[in-house]
Amino acid sequence: MANPPWTRRHIISLSDFQPDEYDTVLQTAASFQEVLSRRTKKVPALQGQVVANLFFEPSTRTRSSFELAAKRLSADTLNFAPGSSSLTKGETILDTAKTYLAMGTDIMVVRHREAGVPLTIAQEMDRLQSRVGVFNAGDGQHEHPSQALLDLFTICTLIDEKPSLSLLADKKIAIVGDILHSRVARSNIWSLTASGAEVHLAGPPTLLPKLFAEFVTSSISAAQPQLARRLFLHWSLEPAIENADFVMTLRLQRERMTQHLLPSLREYHQQFGLTHDRLRSCRPAVKVLHPGPVNRGVEISSELMDDPTFSLISQQVTSGVAVRMALLYLMGSGKI
Amino acid sequence: MANPPWTRRHIISLSDFQPDEYDTVLQTAASFQEVLSRRTKKVPALQGQVVANLFFEPSTRTRSSFELAAKRLSADTLNFAPGSSSLTKGETILDTAKTYLAMGTDIMVVRHREAGVPLTIAQEMDRLQSRVGVFNAGDGQHEHPSQALLDLFTICTLIDEKPSLSLLADKKIAIVGDILHSRVARSNIWSLTASGAEVHLAGPPTLLPKLFAEFVTSSISAAQPQLARRLFLHWSLEPAIENADFVMTLRLQRERMTQHLLPSLREYHQQFGLTHDRLRSCRPAVKVLHPGPVNRGVEISSELMDDPTFSLISQQVTSGVAVRMALLYLMGSGKI
Amino acid sequence: MANPPWTRRHIISLSDFQPDEYDTVLQTAASFQEVLSRRTKKVPALQGQVVANLFFEPSTRTRSSFELAAKRLSADTLNFAPGSSSLTKGETILDTAKTYLAMGTDIMVVRHREAGVPLTIAQEMDRLQSRVGVFNAGDGQHEHPSQALLDLFTICTLIDEKPSLSLLADKKIAIVGDILHSRVARSNIWSLTASGAEVHLAGPPTLLPKLFAEFVTSSISAAQPQLARRLFLHWSLEPAIENADFVMTLRLQRERMTQHLLPSLREYHQQFGLTHDRLRSCRPAVKVLHPGPVNRGVEISSELMDDPTFSLISQQVTSGVAVRMALLYLMGSGKI
């Protein structure tokens, strides 16, 4: 490939991802997507390496996706189950990570309820001069890089079978829902603004505070000033999705209700729920994304979710395996 | 093989299984049983394929058996753990299945407390024009096809090392216990009546209602009229097991007590529990089967359960791996 | 190798381990340690064999270590999860083991809260004339052989890259803490006294009763009279660790507090907790071991635990994989 060699040991955040890194991920994922269409879907890339899934916060879909990606690269996988763990015996998270390091783990895939845990583990691994790569599989309300990268891959491969970041340069993309609490939104804001797309955030003021939006914009300005001008904020759905090429809607946590951040799920759906009707103001070829799992009838109507003309939800899951194979491969390839 | 090629994508119920399908399963399982006696017990038949165990109802023995069968076919396996799942986040069962479909699952092994869930998933997979096979690993009180097929295989291989359905044509087989609530009984009734054996059901009236028996008989009549005449009903043990060649006893769920369907476990054991003494009226070479796990001293005495002269319980477990390998192989072989 | 061939089918206790057996384990582990430093860390030694982890008592670190050891020997692994098991349905532990036997398991790795369970399973496997090997991965307060063997390996390889039992002949080794309730201490007492090292036990009288010490000494006397004279007992830390070459500290279970066996964790740390300061009376090159997980600031200060000059904790975890590979290999090699 024409891209420079991969140098990133850990995947923690997309905030400092460079355009050529996005392109390397996209192109590597495309080659693995091709592998997955073959009769033999496995490659020996990570044979003998160990991928440990340290999911301190339980998850079905993401853990299975990482596990399958690792297995298709021929890695051995270990699953850490927090319920039956030493954590209940008072061991710290770093001690757990160091135990898996000492066992010979090559890549740790970490999910935790608290923002910053994967970074803290990565820093400890570096301090110990280990060669372990740490992969943030979702940390609190901070980031979920592999989700944003699989969203990017899903969108780009729809536009061109050779995916690259620049394909989104003139697209309008809306992100709708609970922006404030969403690690998915945060990672997507980094990747989508980096692509040069127009990114429109929409949500009720309690879930998209002005202060938060200003913080995001100033963060992006600090990183890449020319991109911040392409981030827009809306407290209603319509202006965000008007003429949009893609609409990402986010999962609404039911606990937002009890926190008095929302009047009711029904009212939320009326204001921000996606339906066939609502999409009429978008571009005719508009596509809808959702990171899953979906609250049917809340973020999106059941009919729209199940309509393959508009919904990319199933493709997102499929892309997830290819993108995670690509990332594990890039992280691990320096070691083999 | 002389049998016609396998055409069944899903294994949901034995109600419409044809004699040649039974024979194909039995012969394929026999060849895998032979593989399992070799030094290298693995075959590359499903290499690169993914078998996802979606056990919405937890189970040790059945899940391990399916997992081992899949691994010995060189498939990659994914285990879905309901406790740590998106289901607690409000995702529907079909959405979970569609997620595993989108990840690239080839065969879904589904167990659920509710009858009909595997069928519903299979229909959805077909509607989506996927090539995924769905394997019912036990759905509510409906069916448990692999258990009945491993029972069939265990019995047939005892009679002849080349197992076939017709070996049971003149046998008398009793099924004893909680017929009403047993998915194992229901699947066995289909396979055993199809074999032409005389099938005798025995249990207390609360667990073997007359209406239920009539329903079963009429179902079989509708399918294969000549077979219904070979199904008999008893409210006591003795006539069912007299001169029997095989006696299958079913697991008694302890909750039947609190539902006032049984006076006491002790009384149940006195009336329907199998013991060495009770077996005297059977054929001398009679064998006893139990799907496990056993309530020792309830359905069967500890002494009889552990007596290899009579008990086939251990062989049933061993057959389970070979039969599940056969079924996964037949389901998956069209895809490789 | 010069050692006699391995004849032990089960690993239950170190009480009757012979010097040549220790040396075979140490040398085999050393060769696997070398494999683990290679680019390809897997060997095909147990290909096609099944290692079932029957962890009736949950554990993260030990189960993962056994699982990884098995996978690096190319075995297939099955994990038994007690929470979702037939045990809740009333099945006995022996029936669970017999089910895994019937499925074709080659080696059962068993952990249980009750002392004696692995032995009982091993005896049942022998009675059934199976060739299954049973590996005690910790049974109640009885033994934890693989932990003591990995401790031995860690210490010996520090002294010489060709590890052998005789390397410890003139060493002083202290075991500190809750000796009474510790299966780790019990197994280590067997291996370390067998090596000819001077073994010093130290703990508060409630956790190291005189009667217990006399029992241990008389047990060792019965086995190998010349070794018992090298076991010493102390109710304070100082004499135990003075001039010690190695100090093993044990995990303190917090429930000992509620059992009124300890005044407070703070007081325990003041009397028996290891710190840099405390180690001044040891040999200058003293090393500290802990089986993990560590209660930081109780058995050992955080600073000392994290100081690679003294702490062998990380090496212990690493050794654990190599030693378990060696033991699984020796147990399984007769079958392939």
Residue-wise pLDDT for A247-292, tens only, equals: 999 999 877 777 778 888 899 999 999 999 999 999 999 999 999 9
Does the pLDDT at position A90 exceed 70? Answer: no
Predicted confidence at residue A272, as pLDDT, reads 97
Start and end residues for every CATH 3.40.50.1370 domain found in chain C: 19-143+318-335, 147-316
What confidence tier does B261 reach under pLDDT thresholds 50, 70, 90? confident
CATH number of B19-143+319-335: 3.40.50.1370
Q: Which of A76, A81, A86 sits opposite C71 (nearest CB)?
A: A76
- Chains that contact A by 3+ CB pairs under 8 Å? B, C
Scan residues 264-293 of B and list those with Cβ closer than 8 Å to C: 292-293
What chain B residue is nearest to A321 in terms of C-alpha separation? Answer: B103
- C131 and chain B in contact, CB less than 8 A: no
Q: In this complex, do B89 and A40 lie within 8 Å of one another by their Cβ atoms? A: no
Predicted confidence at residue A61, as pLDDT, reads 86
DSSP string, A119-154: HHHHHHHHHTT---EEEEEEETTTB-HHHHHHHHHH
C295 vs C277: CA distance, rounded Å: 19
Q: What is the mean pLDDT of chain B?
A: 92
Chain B neighbors of C336, CB-CB under 8 A: 39
List the single best residue of A103, A108, A124 to mutate versus C (max C Cβ within 10 A).
A103
- C100 and chain B in contact, CB less than 8 A: yes
Q: In this complex, do C102 and B315 lie within 8 Å of one another by their Cβ atoms? A: yes
- C99 and chain B in contact, CB less than 8 A: yes
Q: In this complex, do B318 and C104 lie within 8 Å of one another by their Cβ atoms? A: yes
Predicted confidence at residue B292, as pLDDT, reads 93
pTM tops 0.80, yes or no: yes
Residue A1: exposure state from Cβ atoms within 10 A (0-12, 13-18, ≥19): exposed
Chain B neighbors of C100, CB-CB under 8 A: 64
Q: Residue C125 has what DSSP assignment? A: H
Chain A neighbors of C294, CB-CB under 8 A: 91, 95
Q: Residue A187 has what DSSP assignment? A: H
Considering only A201-205, A284-288, B220-224, C2-6, which range has the smallest mean pLDDT? C2-6
Q: Which of C80, C95, C103 sits opposite B65 (nearest CB)?
A: C103
Question: Which residues neighbour C36 within 8 Å (Cβ) at sequence distance 6 or greater?
Answer: A104, C72, C318, C321, C322
Cβ contact C206:C29 at 8 Å: no
Average pLDDT in the A163-173 region?
Answer: 96
Q: Which residue has the higher pLDDT, C225 or A44?
A: A44
- Bridge-based pairing state of the strands C287-289 and A231-234: unpaired
Predicted confidence at residue A330, as pLDDT, reads 97
What chain B residue is nearest to A315 in terms of C-alpha separation? Answer: B102
Q: In this complex, do A84 and C59 lie within 8 Å of one another by their Cβ atoms? A: yes
Average pLDDT in the A59-87 region?
Answer: 85
Considering only B4-18, B130-144, C160-174, C203-217, which range has the smallest mean pLDDT? C203-217
Predicted confidence at residue B222, as pLDDT, reads 87
Predicted confidence at residue A336, as pLDDT, reads 40
Percent of chain B with pLDDT over 90: 80
Q: Which of B78, B89, B103 sits opposite A293 (nearest CB)?
A: B89
Shortest Cα distance, chain C CAs vs residue A44, angstroms: 11
Chain C neighbors of B41, CB-CB under 8 A: 48-49, 104
- A56 and chain C in contact, CB less than 8 A: no
CATH topology of domain A146-313: Rossmann fold (3.40.50)
Looking at 3.90.1150.10, 3.40.50.1370, 1.20.1050.10, 3.30.450.270, the CATH number of the domain C19-143+318-335 comes to 3.40.50.1370
Looking at 3.30.830.10, 3.40.50.1370, 3.30.1490.390, 1.10.260.40, the CATH number of the domain A19-143+317-335 comes to 3.40.50.1370
DSSP string, C37-61: TSSS----TTTT-EEEEEESS--SH
Question: What 3-state DSSP class applies to A23?
Answer: helix
Q: In this complex, do C39 and A104 lie within 8 Å of one another by their Cβ atoms? A: no
Start and end residues for every CATH 3.40.50.1370 domain found in chain B: 19-143+319-335, 145-316
Does the pLDDT at position C336 exceed 50? Answer: no
Predicted confidence at residue C108, as pLDDT, reads 98
Q: Residue A35 has what DSSP assignment? A: H
Shortest Cα distance, chain A CAs vs residue C13, angstroms: 24
What chain A residue is nearest to C44 in terms of C-alpha separation? Answer: A48
Shortest Cα distance, chain B CAs vs residue C292, angstroms: 26
- C129 and chain B in contact, CB less than 8 A: no
Cα atoms in the Cβ-side hemisphere of radius 13 Å centred on A163? 28
- A61 and chain B in contact, CB less than 8 A: yes
Give per-residue pLDDT as tens, B282-291. 999 999 999 9
Considering only A212-221, B63-72, B169-178, C312-321, which range has the smallest mean pLDDT? A212-221
Cβ contact A129:A155 at 8 Å: no
Superfamily of domain B145-316 in CATH is: Aspartate/ornithine carbamoyltransferase (3.40.50.1370)
Scan residues 9-48 of B and list those with Cβ closer than 8 Å to A: 47-48
Q: In this complex, do B58 and C84 lie within 8 Å of one another by their Cβ atoms? A: yes
Tokens of residue B286, six digits: 């009679």
Q: Give the type of residue at C262.
A: L
Scan residues 236-265 of A and list those with Cβ closer than 8 Å to C: none
Q: In this complex, do B40 and C50 lie within 8 Å of one another by their Cβ atoms? A: no
In terms of Cα–Cα distance, which of B92, B63, B90 is closest to B78?
Answer: B63
Region at A264 (left for phi over 0; alpha for psi -120 to 50; beta for the rest): beta
Please report which residue ranges of chain A form alpha helices under DSSP H: 19-36, 61-72, 93-103, 117-127, 145-159, 183-194, 210-223, 225-228, 237-241, 255-258, 265-272, 302-305, 313-332
Predicted confidence at residue A192, as pLDDT, reads 96
- C73 and chain B in contact, CB less than 8 A: no
Does the pLDDT at position C334 exceed 70? Answer: no
Q: In this complex, do A86 and C293 lie within 8 Å of one another by their Cβ atoms? A: yes
Predicted confidence at residue A83, as pLDDT, reads 63
Q: Which residue has the higher pLDDT, B159 or B85?
A: B159
Percent of chain C with pLDDT over 90: 80
Give per-residue pLDDT as tens, A284-320. 999 999 999 999 999 999 999 999 999 999 999 999 9
Does the pLDDT at position A18 exceed 50? Answer: yes
Predicted confidence at residue B220, as pLDDT, reads 85
C250 vs C184: CA distance, rounded Å: 8
Start and end residues for every CATH 3.40.50.1370 domain found in chain A: 19-143+317-335, 146-313
Predicted confidence at residue B83, as pLDDT, reads 63
A278, A280, A281, A283: CA torsion to nearest 10? 130
Percent of chain B with pLDDT over 70: 96
- A4 and chain B in contact, CB less than 8 A: no
| Domain range C147-316, CATH architecture | 3-Layer(aba) Sandwich (3.40)
What are the phi and psi torsion angles at B308 (to 5°)? -65, -15
Q: In this complex, do B318 and C102 lie within 8 Å of one another by their Cβ atoms? A: yes
Predicted confidence at residue C82, as pLDDT, reads 72
C63 vs C65: CA distance, rounded Å: 5
What confidence tier does C83 reach under pLDDT thresholds 50, 70, 90? low
List the single best residue of C43, C56, C61 to mutate versus A (max A Cβ within 10 A).
C61
Predicted confidence at residue C262, as pLDDT, reads 83
What chain C residue is nearest to A333 in terms of C-alpha separation? Answer: C39
- A85 and chain C in contact, CB less than 8 A: yes
- A334 and chain C in contact, CB less than 8 A: no
Percent of chain A with pLDDT over 70: 96
Predicted confidence at residue A87, as pLDDT, reads 55
